[in-house]
Chain A
Amino acid sequence: MTSDEQLLRAINLNRPGAFDEFVRVYGRRLLAFSMRTCGNPENAEDVFQDTLLKAYQALANLQEPRALRTWLYRIAANNCRMLGRKDRAARKISLDDFKPPGWEDGKILEVPDWSDLPDDAAGRAELRTAFEKGIAELPAEYRMVLLMRDVEGLSTRETAEALEIGQSAVKMRLHRARMALRHHLADYHQKLGGTAEAMT
């Protein structure tokens, strides 16, 4: 396996196959991230191409190999944001949007436990589709945090650096995004009629 340090050295020395290796290591991850972040496949392809180009041309200036992954996601996130601004104004979301019914009245909450996930491939695939839909419905800034932390596996610090926000903001947005997805999945299970009987 190529380390980021070896990869950067190969690119800086313009070794044959360096671009292919760069694409092999990071290409599909960045395209998947762009697809989920942009929502629109055409925009995502533009973002992906632009990210690869900008990154590959500027890699020689990157001094710290350990920062490579964070730096790539930062370029992709900024490209997505720029396209997002053209498409629509960023939607703000507050904690209130995720409050379950009854919260305001101080009632004891009935929280359905749907965490027993299906084992069969078909059930799992259907659940994944519902989950991807939930991700797509998140506001962009929340979606990016969730994708970086929970899907791409970046740490809180790396996500904060990639998005140029504080670690506290990462934690808040991640929590809200997870809560929104949790509600989305509870709705999905309710529609399936599984554990949803206890919901209302």
Chain B
Amino acid sequence: MSPDERLRGMSRTERTQLCREVVEQLSDYLEGTAPEDFCRRVEGMLKGCQPFDAYRNTLAATIALASECREPAADLDEPFARSIEIVRRRLAED
């Protein structure tokens, strides 16, 4: 039975469950936490697949950009100082 036929035979709940499992495994794969045999299978199946390479590369770039946002922006200095002053005052009142 082809994957398409298997999908067509599934209920909505089964498809949702399958989708959840695939996404979880794919996330683990992309983060390097998936089991080795799963990684080997993915790489074997998708070797030379341009859309998958592009998908993996752009997702990795998205994650890298997110980590670049880790350093808080300088424009937080003013609200930060103002907030700390307010919290200090409120702690002293309590």
A residues contacting B by CB (< 8 A) are 19, 23, 27-29, 31-32, 35-36, 41, 44-45, 48-49, 52-53, 56-57, 95, 108-115, 117, 127-128, 131-132, 135, 146, 150-153, 168, 171-172, 174-175, 178-179, 181-182, 185-186
Whether B20 and A115, one on each chain, are in contact in the complex, defined by CB atoms closer than 8 angstroms, is no
Judge whether B2 is part of the interface by a CB distance below 8 angstroms. no
Among A108, A113, A132, A186, the one with the most B-chain Cβ atoms within 10 Å of its Cβ is A113
Whether B83 and A45, one on each chain, are in contact in the complex, defined by CB atoms closer than 8 angstroms, is yes
Whether B87 and A52, one on each chain, are in contact in the complex, defined by CB atoms closer than 8 angstroms, is yes
Chain B residues, CB < 8 A from A28:
72, 76, 80
Whether A48 and B83, one on each chain, are in contact in the complex, defined by CB atoms closer than 8 angstroms, is yes
Other than A27-B80, A181-B66, A182-B58, give 16 A-B pairs with Cβ distance below 8 A: A44-B79, A49-B83, A52-B84, A53-B87, A112-B58, A113-B58, A114-B58, A115-B61, A127-B65, A150-B63, A151-B69, A168-B20, A171-B23, A171-B24, A175-B27, A178-B59
Chain A residues, CB < 8 A from B51:
108-111
Judge whether B42 is part of the interface by a CB distance below 8 angstroms. no
> Which of B23, B54, B58, B82 interacts with A185 by CB under 8 Å?
B58
* 3 A-B pairs closest in CB distance: A150-B66, A113-B54, A115-B57
Chain B residues, CB < 8 A from A117:
61, 64-65
B residues contacting A by CB (< 8 A) are 19-20, 23-24, 26-28, 50-55, 57-70, 72-73, 76, 79-80, 82-84, 86-88, 90-91, 94
CA distance A32 to B76 in the complex (A): 7
Q: How far is the CB of A142 from chain B (nearest CB, A)?
A: 13
Given known A31-B72, A31-B79, A52-B87, contact A174–B27 (CB-CB < 8 A):
yes
Whether B79 and A41, one on each chain, are in contact in the complex, defined by CB atoms closer than 8 angstroms, is yes
CA distance A150 to B65 in the complex (A): 9
Q: How far is the CB of A16 from chain B (nearest CB, A)?
A: 14
Q: How far is the CB of A8 from chain B (nearest CB, A)?
A: 17
CA distance A28 to B70 in the complex (A): 10
CA distance A41 to B82 in the complex (A): 13
